[in-house]
Structure 1
Amino acid sequence: MTGPGVLTLSWSHPEDGDATVGMTGDLDYATADRLLAEVIAEAAVPGTERIVLDCAELVFCDSHGLAVLLMIRRRTAAAGVDLALDNRPARLDRLLAITGTAELLTGAVPQARSQS
């Protein structure tokens, strides 16, 4: 278990060209820059085709964490590397939907709000 402002990153390479990072803890002002640096370094490794951010154990994401996810999307796209956010908790999906970034970060088109 992690405390506030702690993010543990665990990298694996399940298939050639794929890299997965498991995130445990908080993606916030204190921790997000380390994720950015590690993902950028991984995207620069020759042969990297896809990076998966496994969000199953992500406890919290603040506005800085969201900004870093957007920077990661931009940097991986520029490097020709696919990015996926897997096992997103409902609170992260809600943050992405509220901020209008769900489609950009996940490829999922948010459901239209009903007009009453």
Structure 2
Amino acid sequence: MTTMPPAHLRLTTVDSEDTVRIELHGDLDYDTADDLLAEVTAVLGARPHLDDLHLHCAGLGTVDSMGLSILLMVRRRTGQAGVRLHLDDRPAVLDRLLTITGSLNYLTGSSPGGGNSASLDVGEAPGAGDEARAARPTGPDGTS
């Protein structure tokens, strides 16, 4: 029997005058996602005049549905605080997940190959674009 090492997420926070960068190393999943939300919540509480929050994603491993949920929650909280969220150096696997779920534009304010800062209204739902709706059949047999 092989014992798997415990899944973990290491967060490194780098603070500057009007920007905070949180570097993510490891998996963002059911076991670790709350750690990111707690860190972001602490940063937003401690820095009421923060302009930008950068999540540096280059070291990110697996992201499951809980990890995606936390990213959406982070986007909501930064939007409510008037802070611009940036998902920097996203790995291709994260872009694919965000594209498939219709949340890429909501979280990044971009389409694949575009910029990477979120600038949409907080009230706009993920996948609110016409592309997400056009891909789904409307009738029970796939017809309109």
Q: Classify the TM-score, shorter chain.
A: 0.7 to 0.9
- One-letter code of the match for 2:13? W
Whether contact under 8 Å (2:95, 2:112) holds in the other structure is: no
Bigger radius of gyration among the two: 2
Unmatched runs of 5 consecutive residues or more in structure 1:
none
Question: TM-score by structure 2 length?
Answer: 0.72
Separation in structure 2 between the aligned mates of residue 9 and residue 103 of structure 1, nearest angstrom = 24
- Cα RMSD after superposing both structures: 2.0
Whether contact under 8 Å (1:54, 1:88) holds in the other structure is: yes
Separation in structure 2 between the aligned mates of residue 73 and residue 4 of structure 1, nearest angstrom = 28
2:65 alignment partner in structure 1: 63
Whether contact under 8 Å (1:4, 1:25) holds in the other structure is: no
Separation in structure 2 between the aligned mates of residue 22 and residue 110 of structure 1, nearest angstrom = 22
1:58 Cα deviation from its structure 2 partner: 0.2
Runs ≥4 residues deviating over 4 A: none
TM alignment of 1:4-23, pairs within 5 A: 4-13=6-15, 15-23=16-24
1:4 Cα deviation from its structure 2 partner: 4.9
TM alignment of 1:34-73, pairs within 5 A: 34-44=35-45, 45-73=47-75
- One-letter code of the match for 1:12? V
1:110 Cα deviation from its structure 2 partner: 4.8
Q: What is the number of residues matched between the two proteins? A: 111
SS in 1 for 2:74: helix
Question: TM-score by structure 1 length?
Answer: 0.88
1:102 Cα deviation from its structure 2 partner: 0.3
1:59-85 Cα distance to aligned partner (Å, 9 max, x none):
110000000000000011001111000
Separation in structure 2 between the aligned mates of residue 101 and residue 4 of structure 1, nearest angstrom = 29
| Percent identical | 50
Q: Looking at both structures, which has the greater relative contact order when contacts are Cα pairs under 8 Å and sequence separation is at least 6?
A: 1
1:46 Cα deviation from its structure 2 partner: 2.9
Separation in structure 2 between the aligned mates of residue 103 and residue 110 of structure 1, nearest angstrom = 9
- One-letter code of the match for 1:53? L
